[in-house]
Homo-oligomer: A and B are copies of this chain.
Amino acid sequence: MHRVRVKVVEDALDANETIARANRDDFDRAGVTVVNFMGAPGAGKTSLLERVLDGLRAGVLEGDVQGSLDADRLASLHVPVVQLQTSQGFGGECHLDANMVRSALPSLPLEEIELLVIENVGNLVCPAEFRVGEDARVMVSSVAEGADKPLKYPLMFRACELVLLNKIDLLPYVDFDVAKFTERLHTVHPGVECLQVSAKTGEGMEAWHQWLARLPGRRMIEA
């Protein structure tokens, strides 16, 4: 008799990882490349999507604690938007996890798109700890938040393949040293790509659009 022994290693594959891999398999079958898009509240995530999604075969999964403000903003674009509210608990979840994303899969028109952007809940801590089945992670940091953020939230700055430094139109009005920020960023995450952008003035939007346009079919992180 053929016997296979599967050793259960408690911390090797937790439930979130298992579900994230299942999501990834489904995305792969549908030929959809997935970006997990993260950043602090008010860093400009939705604005950065508004500026670049038109013209891409993209869809958006919006994670929000409450309300549909971000999903409403994106509704004017010609891309499908599915909203995932996390407010089931007392104050809402502070991040999306693989199971929440899985619950949205039936609502996502995967056959119509080749790129799915998952806009995570505004938070610099927990979203970095939960894979959702993505191929790449992008995080946004605004110059208004200060140049110390990579040192204060190193896991988030480490857990991404691209950093968007947003609101550079505010540089003349805030105390923000771009060279120091970049040095700190590369201390916690050597070599990570960083684009300086402004969703307001449009600066850097072409580079950000190109980065997304080049993504379909690419896999920047392993499942």
- Interface positions of A (Cβ within 8 A of B): 40-42, 64-67, 69-70, 90-94, 121-126, 128-129, 142, 144-146, 148-149, 151-156, 159, 167, 169-170, 173-175, 200
B170 touches A40 (CB 8 A): no
B125 touches A94 (CB 8 A): yes
B69 touches A151 (CB 8 A): yes
Chain B hits for A148, CB < 8 A: 69
A174 closest partner in B (C-beta): B170
Which 7 pairs show the lowest CB-CB distances between chains A and B? A42-B145, A144-B144, A94-B125, A91-B155, A40-B41, A91-B129, A41-B124
Taking A144-B142, A167-B144, A173-B170 as contacts, is the C-beta distance between A65 and B153 under 8 angstroms? yes
Copies of this chain in its oligomeric complex: 2
B170 touches A41 (CB 8 A): no
B123 touches A69 (CB 8 A): no
A158 closest partner in B (C-beta): B91
A175 and B169 alpha carbons, distance in the complex (Å): 12
A127 and B91 alpha carbons, distance in the complex (Å): 10
Partner of A94, one of B123, B151, B152, B154: B123
Chain B hits for A126, CB < 8 A: 91, 94, 126
B123 touches A65 (CB 8 A): no
A81 and B123 alpha carbons, distance in the complex (Å): 26
B42 touches A151 (CB 8 A): no
Chain B hits for A153, CB < 8 A: 41, 65-66, 122
